[in-house]
C-alpha cells in the first residue's frame, strides 16, 4: 500500500533538452574548441595541442579588421536608418486608419514569405542597372529591406499596447502630438522597441546572402569573409576563430534581453 505519488519522468522535456543540446550547443562547442586548437588530428577525440596561434594569425590579417569595421558600420547604419523610417511608420500603423493600411502592413511579411535568394537575385538585377552592386549603400539598402519585418511588426504591437489615455493626458497638459510621441509613447513602448532594434542589429550583422550578392567583392562583411575562409582555406581554425568572433554580438544581445525580460518591463511593453 503506497500513497506515494511518483513524479512521472518528463520524457518530452528530456528529449527536447537533449535535441536542443545536440543541435545548438554541440556545434558551438566543436567550433569553440577548434578556435583554440593548434593541432587536432584524426582520430583523436580531443585536440593534441591547444593554443592561440590561429587567433594571432587571424587577428594579424588586415582583411579581418576591415571586415569587422565594415560589419559594424553596416549594422549601425542599417539599424539607425531602419529605426528612423520604421518607428514613425509603425506608429502610424498602430494609431491611424488610412486606405491600404492592411495591404501595406502584410506586404512586409510577403518579403519573408517567399524564398529569399530568388528575391535577392531579382533585386541584384535591378541594383546592377542602378550601379549599386558592390557599393556600401547597395548593401545598406538590401539589408534595410530585411529589417522591415521586425522593425514594423514588433513596434506596431508595442505602440498598440500603450494606453491611449496616457497619450491624451499628455496632450491635456500641453504636449503637441510630436512631443507626446517622444516623451510618452516611445518610452512606454521602449523595452519592446529596444528588443526590435537589437534583433535588427544582430540580424544585419549576421546577414550573409544579401551582403555577398550585392556587396561582393568590394564590400566584405565578417560573415562573408568567414564563408570565403571556409571555402578557400584548408585550415578549419580560421573559420572557427571568425565564428567565435561573431558570437560577441549574440552574447551582448542575449545579456541585454535577459536584463529586459527580468526587469518585467518587457512584459509591460507588451501591455502585460
Q: Which residues bind other proteins (CB under 8 A)?
A: 163, 165-166, 168-176, 179, 183-184, 187-188, 190, 268
Asked if residue 151 lies in contact with residue 125, where contact means CB atoms within 8 angstroms, the answer is no
Least spacing, CB of residue 185 vs other proteins, in Å: 10
Q: Are 108 and 145 in contact (CB under 8 A)?
A: no
**Least gap, CB of 95 to other proteins (angstroms):** 14
CB of 209 to other proteins, least distance (A): 39
User: Are 192 and 159 in contact, with CB atoms under 8 Å apart?
Assistant: no
- By beta-carbon proximity to other proteins, the closer residue of 158 and 240 is 158
Beta strands in the chain (DSSP E): 37-39, 49-50
Q: Would residue 44 be called left, alpha or beta, if left means φ above 0 and alpha means ψ between -120 and 50 degrees?
A: beta
Q: In the bound complex, what is the minimum distance in angstroms from residue 166's beta carbon to other proteins?
A: 5
Closest CA to 247 of 77, 29, 58, 66: 29
Coil, helix or strand at residue 7: coil
What are the beta bridge partners of residue 39? 49
The cell for 96 is 491611424
Q: Which is nearer to other proteins, 43 or 97 (CB)?
A: 97
Nearest of 166, 172, 10, 19 to residue 95 by alpha carbon: 166
Q: Could you tell me the three cell numbers for 98?
A: 488610412
Residues facing 49 on adjacent strands: 39
Q: Of 41 and 165, which CB lies nearer to other proteins in the complex structure? A: 165
Query: Measuring CA to CA, how many Å separate 38 from each of 27, 64, 125, 234?
Result: 19, 19, 44, 14
And the C-alpha cell for 145? 529591406
**Smallest distance from the beta carbon of 85 to other proteins, in angstroms?**
24
Considering the complex, what minimum distance in angstroms separates the CB of residue 174 from other proteins?
4
SS3 of residue 51 by DSSP:
coil
Residue 81 vs 180, nearer CB to other proteins:
180
* Residue (110 or 169) nearer to other proteins, CB: 169
What's the closest the beta carbon of residue 268 comes to other proteins, in angstroms?
A: 8
CB closer to other proteins, 53 vs 268: 268
Pick the closer one to other proteins by CB: 20 or 169.
169
Amino acid at each position: 500500500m503506497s500513497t506515494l505519488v511518483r513524479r512521472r519522468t518528463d520524457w518530452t522535456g528530456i528529449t527536447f533538452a537533449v535535441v536542443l543540446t545536440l543541435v545548438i550547443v554541440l556545434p558551438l562547442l566543436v567550433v569553440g574548441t577548434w578556435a583554440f586548437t593548434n593541432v587536432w588530428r584524426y582520430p583523436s577525440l580531443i585536440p593534441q595541442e591547444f593554443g592561440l596561434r590561429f587567433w594571432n594569425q587571424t587577428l594579424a590579417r588586415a582583411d579581418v579588421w576591415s571586415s569587422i569595421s565594415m560589419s559594424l558600420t553596416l549594422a549601425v547604419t542599417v539599424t539607425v536608418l531602419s529605426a528612423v523610417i520604421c518607428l514613425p511608420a509603425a506608429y502610424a500603423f498602430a494609431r491611424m486608419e488610412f486606405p491600404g493600411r492592411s495591404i501595406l502592413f502584410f506586404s512586409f511579411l510577403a518579403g519573408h514569405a517567399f524564398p529569399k535568394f530568388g528575391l535577392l537575385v531579382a533585386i541584384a538585377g535591378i541594383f546592377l542597372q542602378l550601379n549599386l552592386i558592390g557599393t556600401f549603400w547597395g548593401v545598406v539598402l538590401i539589408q534595410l529591406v530585411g529589417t522591415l519585418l521586425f522593425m514594423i511588426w514588433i513596434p506596431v504591437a508595442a505602440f498598440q499596447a500603450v494606453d491611449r489615455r496616457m497619450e491624451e493626458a499628455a496632450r491635456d497638459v500641453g504636449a503637441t502630438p510630436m512631443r507626446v510621441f517622444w516623451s510618452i509613447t516611445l518610452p512606454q513602448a521602449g523595452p519592446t522597441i529596444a528588443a526590435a532594434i537589437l534583433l535588427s542589429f544582430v540580424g544585419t550583422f549576421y546577414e550573409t546572402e544579401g551582403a555577398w550578392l550585392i556587396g561582393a567583392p568590394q564590400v566584405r562583411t565578417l560573415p562573408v569573409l568567414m564563408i570565403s575562409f571556409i571555402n578557400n582555406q584548408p585550415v578549419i581554425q580560421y573559420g572557427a576563430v571568425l565564428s567565435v568572433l561573431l558570437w560577441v554580438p549574440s552574447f551582448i544581445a542575449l545579456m541585454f534581453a535577459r536584463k529586459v525580460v527580468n526587469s518585467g518591463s518587457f512584459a509591460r511593453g507588451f501591455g502585460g
